[in-house]
Amino acid sequence: GDSVTQMEGPVTLSEEAFLTINCTYTATGYPSLFWYVQYPGEGLQLLLKATKADDKGSNKGFEATYRKETTSFHLEKGSVQVSDSAVYFCALHTGNQFYFGTGTSLTVIP
Amino acid sequence: ETGVTQSPTHLIKTRGQQVTLRCSSQSGHNTVSWYQQALGQGPQFIFQYYREEENGRGNFPPRFSGLQFPNYSSELNVNALELDDSALYLCASSPVQGAMTGELFFGEGSRLTVL
């Protein structure tokens, strides 16, 4: 069935380091792909999305490209900040079904 | 603009009991979906409601049921509670276009503990 697999955490980085969180998916149709973020004490919120192959989603310095050939949607940021510390969830939407990965906890230290 | 609000924030039940969780959708949003998030896991899709009808369901048994009201608020009901039902229950709303593309606006959740 459809599913999302994302990189296990936790991830700890120094401020200004480069971030990659890997996400791969399995889907029978043509899904839309998302990254959601959960900051401490807050609800999940949409970070970025891509609705078709080769689309690049971007927001707040984060980027992810929908790669159909590798069934991937890796999240990247060139220079992380302490305020980026959160849990990041890769998600897939197809039909009326939603699938989330298990989440990757990121801690950025000054 | 008021966001998605859920109640109660925390509750404790015993095995076999029934629970009702409530959700008020964000203003202008007519689609509501519910998720179960176990500790250390990602949200698992339970079901989605649009125009008071269920129009999508994940792999959850029938003892998980829901309602959507004319004002687009929603309830999640769980009967015959089991220990494994202990989790954070998330409600998300979206305008119908957002629901079609997966853009969801989440509440902060109701944490259910089953003893």
Q: Kindly state the helix (H) or strand (E) to which residue B45 belongs, with its residue range.
A: strand B44-50
Q: Which of B33, B56, B107 sits opposite A43 (nearest CB)?
A: B107
What tens digit of pLDDT does each residue of B75-85 get? Answer: 999 999 999 99
CB B12 within 8 A of CB B113: yes
Tell me the pLDDT tens digit for each residue of A47-70: 999 999 999 999 999 999 999 999
Mean of the per-residue pLDDT values of chain B: 91
Give the rounded distance of the alpha carbon of A65 from its chain centre: 10
Contact yes or no for A89 and B103 at CB 8 A: no
- Give me the pLDDT at residue A46, please: 93
Q: How many angstroms away from the CA of A48 is the closest CA of chain B?
A: 9
| Interface contact flag, A102 B42, Cβ < 8 Å | yes
Q: Report how far apart, in Å, the C-alpha atoms of B10 and of each of A42, A98, B48, B64 are.
A: 15, 25, 22, 18
DSSP β-ladder status, B5-7 and B10-13: unpaired
- pLDDT tens-place values along chain A, 110 residues long: 889 999 888 999 999 999 999 999 999 888 999 999 999 888 899 999 999 999 999 999 999 999 999 999 999 999 999 999 999 999 998 877 889 999 999 999 99
Instruction: Look at residue B99 in the predicted model and tell me its pLDDT.
Output: 54
Beta strands in A1-110 (DSSP E): 3-6, 11-14, 19-21, 23-26, 32-38, 45-50, 56-59, 62-65, 75-77, 86-94, 97-100, 104-109
d(CA A72, CA A6): 10
Q: Is the peptide bond before B43 cis (omega within 30 degrees of 0)?
A: no
Kindly report the nearest CA distance between residue A23 and chain B, in angstroms: 13
B97 pLDDT tier (thresholds 50, 70, 90): low
Residue A82 φ/ψ, nearest 5 degrees: -55, -35
Return the pLDDT at B102: 67
